[in-house]
Structures are given as structure tokens and as C-alpha cells.
Structure 1
Amino acid sequence: MDLGIKGKIALISGADSGIGWHTARLLLAEGVTVVITDQYQDKLDAAAQQLDAKPDQLHAFVADITSIDSIAALRDKVLDAVGDIDILVQSAGITGAQGLFHELTDEGWMETLLVDLMGPVRLVNAFLPSLRTGGWGRLVFLASEDGTQPYDDELPYCSAKAGVLALAKGLSRSYALEGLLVNCVSPAFIHTPMTDAMMEKRADKLGVSVPEAITTFLDEKRPFIELKRRGTPDEVASVVAFLCSDLASFVNGANYRVDSGSVASI
């Protein structure tokens, strides 16, 4: 399918693996020039090599989205390498502090909110002038089912993702007439390194294998995932790519759930 974005320029955070990496792969296939960013150079280099893009179509720059200085340096590198971007996909995030409310520390809350809420705020703040220059733009946030269906043992993450949904909705009202459309994608239990780590921790705690941990998690914690499996990063990235495209020209301020029914409400 032709998404109508050949020649556009995209920046994708959290792109050394998972949904960010798969989104990069799909956009590259559409003829988009892509900049991927994440925290660690070795992982980013490996991710870029696996994408196997044409020369000058892919760039990889390290950045820490919790650091204003690091984001400013990233902005300068991107502008120097490719100029103003047309598309920003904010995919970076962490699970953060887990446990019941009385078990959480202030430090755990602040670390989670810094990465999962203030990270997106700071990244958008740095690149918004670039997104506003061309009369056409797409900004897609990776939120989560947790933003609308909070779980009592993941409240910092849930609160941060609820904040991302509110941030996106507010931004969508500010810049639509300039051609910048802002939307969210909210996955549930996708097969990524983040959920791998969650399931390994669960397996250790319960003294079971990782596959058994996944099965019991689905039964006990995510009973409305009707397909009874983790989603794949490609299944989320395809929706992200659509929202980055010219086909989504009347989609703004929306939250697309890719969750197999995990959110129980309509």
C-alpha cells in the first residue's frame, strides 16, 4: 500500500528494538528518510544494521529523552543531517516502578514520570518548531491501554500514559490548522523487550517457566485479551505507520487501541 509519504523525514525514539524499530522498518519501505534514536550506541548501531536501509535513508543518533541537553544535541544532529522533520514517533519508555501504592517510593514515581511523561514533553518541545515548518506533519505517541484502564500494581506507568493521552489531545487542538496532526496508539501486552523483562521477573517470582508466566498473566491480569497471546510489534507498527501517512489526513486527536480487546470499556 502506498501511504503517500515517500520523501518525508521521520524521527523515531525508542527505536533500537520493539515497536519503534518495526515502525522504522515500515516507514523505510515507504520511502521515508528515517532517523532512529535510543540511549545506547551499540544497540542503536545493531538496530540500524538490521534495518539494512539504502545509503542516506537511515541515520542513527544516541539520545536520552530525560535530558534536555541530550535532546538539544539530538535536534542539532538531526537538523544537520536531514533538515526539518515531517514525522515524529515517540516510542521510548520504561515499565517503571511496580507494586501496590503503599510499596512505591517517591524516587520510583519520579523516575517513571521523568521517562514516560516528561521525556515525550521534552522531545516534542525540541522538535515542534521543525514539525510546524512544512504545512504537513504527523506526531504519534505510543501510549498504552494502562492510560485508560489503570492497574493497581503499575500506577506510575498508568499515570504517565494517561498524561501522554491528555498531552496528545491538547496538542491536536493547537496545530491542526497548520497541518500537524497528533494522535496516539495504545498497545496492550506486546512482545517486546519490555514485556520480556516483565515476564522473566514474573517467572522468577512464581517459580515457573516464561511461557507459563505469560499464560497465567493473560488469565489473571489481562482476561479481556481475547486472542490469548501477546501482540507482535508489527501489529502495532502498522497502525503507527498509517497514522504517519497521508491516508490519515482526517484523523486528529485520536487514540487507536491495539489491544485485542484488553480495555474492557467501549
Structure 2
Amino acid sequence: MDLGLSGRVALVTGGDSGIGWHTARLLLSEGATVVLSDREQSQLDAAAAELDAPAGRLFAFAADVTDVEALAELHRRVAEAVGTIDILVQSSGVTGAQGLFHEIDDEGWTSTLETDLMGPVRLTREFLPDLRSGGWGRLVYLVSEDAVQPYDDELPYCSAKAGVLALAKGLSRSYALEGLLVNAVSPAFIRTPMTDVMMQKRSDQLGVPVDEAIESFLDEERPHLELKRRGEPEEVANVIVFLCSDRASFVNGSNYRVDAGSVATI
């Protein structure tokens, strides 16, 4: 299926691994030019090398989404390399402070919100002029099941993701008539470096192999995830790339859940 992405220019944050990396791979396969961004240049360079894209179709520039000056420099480098972008996929984020509410101090809340809520805000503010300039734009935020089904041991993350979901919906009303469509994708328990760390920690705490830790996590913590497995990052990337495409020309302000049923309500 031709998604109409040939010649489009996309910036993918959180692009050195997991969902962001697979999104970049699919965008490249559809003919888009892609700029990868994440915090560490060395990891980005390794990720870009694995993508093995044609010359002039893939660039990798490090930036911290919590740093306004770093984002301005990222924008300058992107403009120099590819001009304006048509597509922004905001995939960067951290698990942040964990524990019950009474166990998390201000620093735990602030550091999580800085990356997972203010990061998307600052990134969007920086690149919004690009997305508004061509009469055609796509903005996709990677959110989480946690935005609508919060868990009591990671409330800063849940709150940040709920905020991003509200941000996406609000922006979708502001710029649709300019051709900019804004949507969100909410995965649950995907095989990424973030959940690898979570499951290794659980494995160590329970004194069981990682496979058993995953199985017990699904039974005890995600009972509505009906497929009883971790999702694959490309399964999320498929939905993101669809939302970036001409095939999603009447989709705006939506939240696509890629969660195998993990969210218990409709």
C-alpha cells in the first residue's frame, strides 16, 4: 500500500531504539527522509548505521528535549540538512520516578514531568512553524495506556502521559484547517529497552528468570492484556506510520491504543 510518504521529511525523537527506531525504519521504507534524535550521539550513530539508509535520506542529531537551547540547535541542524519537516513523531520519554504516592518527592515528580510532559511541549513549540508552513503536516505523540488507566506505582509518568494526551487533543483543534493533523498512539507493555529494564528488575526482586517475571507481571499487573505477551515495537510503529500518511487524512485528535486490550474499558 502506498502511504504517500515519498519525499516527506520526518523528525523522530527517541529514535535510537525501540518504537522510535522501528518508526524511522518504516518511514524510510515508504520513501521519507528521516532525522533521528535522542540524547546520545554515539547511540544515535549506531542506530542510524543499523538502518542502512540511502545517502541523503537519514540524519542523526543528538538533543535533550528538556533543554530549550539544545532544541533550537537541533532545529538549526535539521534546517541545514533537510530544510523544513513535514512530520514530527515524539517518541522520547522515561519511566521516571516510581513508588507509591507517599514515597515520591518533588524532585521525582519534577524530573519525570520535565522529560515526559515539558519535553513534548518544548519540542512541539520549536518545530510547530515547520509543521504549519506547508499546508500538510503530521504530529504524532507516543503516549501510553497509563494516560487513561493509571497505575499507583508510577503516577508521575501516568500524569505526564495524560497531559500529553490532552496536549494532542488541544493541538488537533488549533491547526487542522492549516493541514496539520495531530494524533496520539498509546501502547502497552512493548518489548523496548524501558520494559527490558523493568522486567530485569522484577526478575531480580523475585529471584526468577526474566520469562517468569514477564509471565507473572502479565497475570498480576496487566490482566486485561489478552494476548498474554509483550508487544513488538514494529506493531506500534505500523500504527504511527499510518497516522503520518495520506491514508490517515481524516484522522485528527485521536488516540490509537495498541495494547492488546490492556485498557479495561472502551
Same fold (TM over 0.5): yes
- The CA deviation at 1:205 is 1.3
Q: In structure 2, what residue type is equivalent to 1:165?
A: L
Distance 1:103 1:201 in 2: 18
Q: After superposition, where does 1:77-226 map in structure 2 within 5 Å?
A: 77-226=77-226
Distance 1:142 1:23 in 2: 11
Q: In structure 2, what residue type is equivalent to 1:233?
A: P
Asked if 1:247 is matched to 2:247, the reply is yes
Distance 2:112 2:92 in 1: 12
Dislocated runs of 4+, deviation >2 Å: none
Partner residue, 2:68: 68
Partner residue, 2:53: 53
Distance 1:191 1:59 in 2: 25
DSSP-derived class of the 1:140 partner: strand
Q: In structure 2, what residue type is equivalent to 1:5?
A: L
Partner residue, 1:21: 21
DSSP-derived class of the 2:117 partner: helix
Distance 1:55 1:5 in 2: 18
Distance 2:230 2:22 in 1: 16
Distance 2:84 2:42 in 1: 26
Distance 1:254 1:95 in 2: 23
- The CA deviation at 1:209 is 1.3
**TM-score normalised over the length of structure 2:** 0.99
Unpaired runs of 5+ residues, structure 2, are none
Distance 2:72 2:105 in 1: 30
DSSP-derived class of the 2:60 partner: strand
Distance 1:154 1:134 in 2: 39
Cα deviation digits, residues 210-257 of structure 1 (max 9, x gap): 111101100000000000000000000000000000000000000000
Q: In structure 2, what residue type is equivalent to 1:16?
A: D
DSSP-derived class of the 1:23 partner: helix
- The CA deviation at 1:42 is 1.2
Further displaced range: 207-216 or 47-56:
207-216
Partner residue, 1:34: 34
Distance 2:69 2:206 in 1: 42
Q: In structure 2, what residue type is equivalent to 1:149?
A: Q
Q: In structure 1, what residue type is equivalent to 2:61?
A: F
% identity of equivalent residues: 72
Distance 2:102 2:201 in 1: 20
Distance 2:213 2:244 in 1: 35
- The CA deviation at 1:41 is 1.1
Q: In structure 1, what residue type is equivalent to 2:111?
A: E
Distance 2:107 2:213 in 1: 28
- The CA deviation at 1:5 is 1.2
Distance 2:161 2:125 in 1: 18
Cα deviation digits, residues 197-217 of structure 1 (max 9, x gap): 011111111111111110110
Give the root-mean-square deviation of aligned CA atoms. 0.5
- The CA deviation at 1:163 is 0.2
DSSP-derived class of the 2:98 partner: coil
Unpaired runs of 5+ residues, structure 1, are none
DSSP-derived class of the 1:62 partner: coil
**TM-score normalised over the length of structure 1:** 0.99
Cα deviation digits, residues 2-29 of structure 1 (max 9, x gap): 1011000000000000000000000000
Q: In structure 1, what residue type is equivalent to 2:222?
A: R
Partner residue, 2:10: 10
Distance 1:86 1:125 in 2: 15
Distance 2:223 2:146 in 1: 14
Distance 2:67 2:202 in 1: 31
